[in-house]
Structure 1
Amino acid sequence: MKEENLSSRDKKFLWHPLTQHKLGKPQLPITRAKGALLFDEEGKEYIDGIASWYTVMYGHANETIISALTQQMQTLDFVMFSGLTHEPAIALSEKLMEILPSNQAKIFFNDNGSTAIEAAIKMALQYFHNNGEKRDTLIAFEDGFHGDTFGAMSASGLSSYNGPFEDFLLKVVRIPVPQEDNLKEVKSKLSQILDENECAAFVFEPLVQGAAGMKFHSAKGLDALIGLCQEYEVLCIADEIMTGFGKTGKNFASDNLMNKPDIICLSKALTAGMFPLSITSCSQKIYNRFLSDEVHKGFFHAHTYSAHPLGCAAALTGIELLNSPEISERRDYIAKAHCSFLDKIKNHVKVKEARTIGVILAIDLQIEMERYGSLRDELYNFFLQRGVLLRPLGNTVYVLPPYIISNKELQKVYDTITEALNTF
């Protein structure tokens, strides 16, 4: 009897994320990956132009990280992190403090980006509760995205994800992202919000809103908003889950700011996609508010896999790679190549706007399409048919490749996008 292919077996029992299965086509089965390449069950290769949701920044099956994971699992595979500790978590906290903004002082472990945000929001709310204050309002940007758990979803502003749950979310007020031409108006709106509400925290993606379509905003403007919030003692939470670990040209997007966030959330490239792990870091001031002779003032929030030794080992190795000469050279090359490609296509009749920062390139097409509509799916499949994995966000095509992508592979990504511009 002929063995069923992976697509047929997949359809029997699996429910995929962000998928309307009544309308969607079969999922593409990937059997192996190496470097910047993915391979399907028929052996066809695809360039991973988005580093599988910006995680595998040092390439698939990175041998240095695999070696670290292998060694770690032979020494200490897993142990709970409540009442116990271990060398990989301690070493990772020490290494992170060397590269995080200087006001960060404590590391709290979670297991994915959403739960890193969830912990941050709970920290902020309890920070004031422990002081006898009831602050019930969050501030967030319009069109932001912070994850799919309830606190993270509350801070998010994309109705395509939040629609059925709007009546169950935390209280959030939204402001536009700051640009050079609207900063005065945004600051005025923020001042009014701060005056009229009991605000606990301002949650934001620094400089780049990922799921919104890689939309950029002003570092100077964000700095001003953080400064204003801090005048009101409102805690500032930077969601660096997408932007962290070199993607905007610096280790963290927050490194572009004078006013540093009180809390920073990290995941994705933290472990280079090798293991689910996330971190919520905070300042000493926040940590101190939870120190008390009253037990209930501690932060009673936990995940079974917090500080998983394997994830910590992967993260430690990733940090070593991040600023290595080889990776630094590739990051610089990609940034320059993006600028060169942008200059070539920015005046194309099908290009509404194009922008780049660090290794992030985004192109808004002069075509109306739904975020998950049929035309967007046609564009996605157009890229796949040509051996390139890009995942358009509505009419925004973005490139965020692994740092180790070869010059030839990157050029193929550009050539495929150019072909799409001339086709759609």
Structure 2
Amino acid sequence: MPNTPNWYDEGMGHIWLPYTQMKTAVPPLPVASTNGVRLTLSDGRELIDGIASWWAAAHGYNHPHILDAMKQQLEAMPHAMFGGLVNEPALKLAKRLAAMMPGDLNRVFIAESGSVSVEVAMKMALQYYFNRGEKRTKFVHFRGTYHGDTLGTMAVCDPEEGMHGLFGDVLAKNLLADLPRTQEAADQFAAFLKKHASDVAAVITEPLVQGAGGMVFHQPETLRWLREACDDAGVLLIVDEIFTGFYRTGSRFAVDQAGIVPDMLTLSKALSGGVSPLSVCIARESVFDAFYDDDPSKALMHGPTYMGHALGCAAANASLDLFEREDYAAKVHAIEGQMMAELAPCGFAPNVKSVRVKGAIGVVQLEDASAIETLKPKFVERGVWIRPFRDIVYLTPPLTIGEDDLGTLTGAIRDVLGA
């Protein structure tokens, strides 16, 4: 790549990039700065970000309210260990999140990455039964699902269509099922779960959208059926809202559309506004009670070094301020309507299988994905950052994006796919 900065030339020989075959990959683009919904490259080109940094930059980049809160916290205390010590931003965040949750989801475990929060939820589920004298060691997960890249979360991702098939022989063996989308399928799933209940600690699912599995949508009824099946079988339910949380599907949380209370719920990404690594696992009081005991061996023995990270929690509190002060449901409703109208013509383009939109998620699915990597530079040429994967071209823009910028993104998709 010509005219790259020194830091790029000197560092690329030492970095290991994510999800990348380093030998054959097209070199990544060097980003110099961000602002609003734009990425500025080192050569001065600006790209409208249609992906919101893997769905995290819900408020856009460099939001002054979040940056000001972090500056104040940085001067006071960036971090202090959460073992034997606590800090105001973390406890404030826990209280605020508990108030947002349905039912008695009110015990908040604060970690760093989304994968870790799911690992924590899985560990809670296992020990919940251990502490009750039951040895349940399996999880039920679904085809098309993704929950993370750590060893535990890999074992509850789709083993056939997902990216972790290479590790199948060394991962924990769990129970794979089809996500129920009809009443008949729900009845079959309930029978399946009851049959295996004595071995199952929890069912784990992504609500309304299977993200990395190809942005596949399902209805709120599916979540209600899962909740009913878990209640009937006496099994815990984990809902992974790392992608869907904070209005991405239209409501503040996807579970709000189903009216259910999971036993554990995980959040990350938009939680901190895409500014700081941060995640939470929020558990129901009934789950917490299984650990609350005079016996020290019943405590949850988990504690990331940066648990309760004060600086990240300050960013998250500022992010929550924005979600509470502004009508994000209305913002997403407008984004949804515009994407529905402007992506619909893609359905007539060659090689397009389907077009679908839910909340601030727009998807164009291709019939043949063999040349999908060739689309990325064509989007850059049009001044947008859109990163197709699998067989889809998709948009998950910042929720603050304006009509004109969103129109540029949808127009680029129509142009590239139409050509």
Q: Structure 2-normalised TM-score?
A: 0.95
> 1:398 aligns to what?
394
Identify the residue that residue 256 of structure 2 maps to in structure 1. 255
Task: Report the Cα distance in structure 1 between the residues aligned to 2:254 and 2:239, rounded to whole angstroms.
Answer: 9
2:235 corresponds to which residue? 234
Q: Which residue of 2 aligns with 1:121?
A: 122
Residue number in structure 1 paired with 2:78: 77
Q: Which residue of 1 aligns with 2:184?
A: 184
Equivalent residue letter for 1:22? K
Counterpart code for 1:122: K
Change (3 A) 1:196 1:158: closer
Aligned: 1:275 with 2:276 = yes
| Residue in 1 that maps onto 2:35 | 34
Correspondence 1:419 to 2:415: yes
Structure 1 residue 167 and structure 2 residue 163: aligned?
Answer: no
Q: Please tell me the residue identity of whatever aligns with 2:326.
A: P
1:52-99 CA distances to partner (integer Å, 9 max, x unpaired)?
100011011111100000011111221111111111111111111222
Q: What's the counterpart of residue 333 of structure 2?
A: 332
Is the 8 Å Cα contact of residues 178 and 217 (structure 1) preserved in structure 2? no
Tell me, yes or no, if the aligned pair for 1:176 and 1:186 is still in contact at 8 Å: no
Amino acid at match of 1:39: T
Judge conservation of contact 2:159–2:168 (CA < 8 Å) in 1. Answer: no
Q: Is the 8 A contact 1:7 1:27 kept in 2?
A: no
AA partner of residue 352 (structure 2) = V
1:319-398 to structure 2, matched below 5 A, reads 319-325=320-326, 327-369=328-370, 375-398=371-394
Q: Residues 105 and 283 of structure 2 are in contact (CA less than 8 Å); yes or no, is this contact kept in structure 1?
A: yes
Residue 186 of structure 1: how far off its partner (Å):
4.6
Q: TM-score, normalised by structure 1?
A: 0.94
Q: Contact 2:251 / 2:329 at 8 angstroms: preserved in 1?
A: no
List per-residue Cα deviations over 1:173-216 (Å, max 9, x = no partner): 11112224xx4135314422431351110010001000011100
Counterpart residue identity of residue 65, structure 1? I
Give the letter for the 2:285 counterpart. Answer: Q
Q: Distance in 1 between matches of 2:73 and 2:118?
A: 28
Q: Which runs of 5+ in 1 are unaligned?
A: 370-374
RMSD of the TM alignment (CA)?
1.7
Q: Which amino acid aligns with 1:296?
A: S
- CA-to-aligned-CA distance 1:206-249 (integer Å, 9 cap, x gap): 01000011100121122112211121121100000000011011
After TM superposition, give the deviation of residue 378 of structure 1 in Å.
Answer: 0.4
Q: How does 1:2-21 map to 2 (within 5 A)?
A: 5-21=6-22
Matched-pair identity in %: 34
Deviation track 1:311-367 (CA, whole Å, cap 9, x = no partner) reads 111111111111433645432321221222244333444321111111111111232
Which stretch shifts more, 80-89 or 241-250?
A: 80-89
Supply the AA of the counterpart residue of 1:273.
G
1:20/1:415 CA distance change after superposition, 3 Å: same
The unaligned stretches of length 5 or more in structure 2 are none
**Residue 102 of structure 1: CA displacement?**
2.4
Which residue identity lines up with residue 192 of structure 1 in the other structure?
F
Q: Which residue of 2 aligns with 1:196?
A: 196
Q: CA offset at residue 124 of structure 1?
A: 0.1
Q: Secondary structure at the match of 1:92?
A: helix
Tell me if structure 1 keeps the 8 A contact 2:363–2:393. yes
Deviation at 1:48, TM superposition (A): 0.7
Match of 1:24, SS?
Answer: coil
Aligned partner of 2:406 among 395, 405, 410: 410
Cα separation, 1, equivalents of 2:124 and 2:40: 42
CA distance in 2, matches of 1:194, 1:385: 54
Aligned letter for 2:170? F
Question: What secondary structure is seen at the aligned counterpart in 2 of 1:168?
Answer: coil
Cα separation, partners in 2 of 1:334 and 1:4, compared to 1, 3 Å: closer
**SS of corresponding position for 2:174:** strand
After TM superposition, the structure 1 = structure 2 runs for residues 45-124 of structure 1, keeping only pairs within 5 Å, are 45-124=46-125
Could you tell me how far apart the structure 1 residues matched to 2:416 and 2:164 are? 31
SS in 2 for 1:251: coil
Larger mean CA deviation between 98-107 and 6-15 belongs to 6-15
Secondary structure of the residue aligned to 2:44 is coil
Matched residue count: 415
Cα separation, partners in 2 of 1:132 and 1:339, compared to 1, 3 Å: same
Aligned mates of 1:94, 1:280 — CA distance in 2: 13
Name the amino acid aligned to 1:169: L
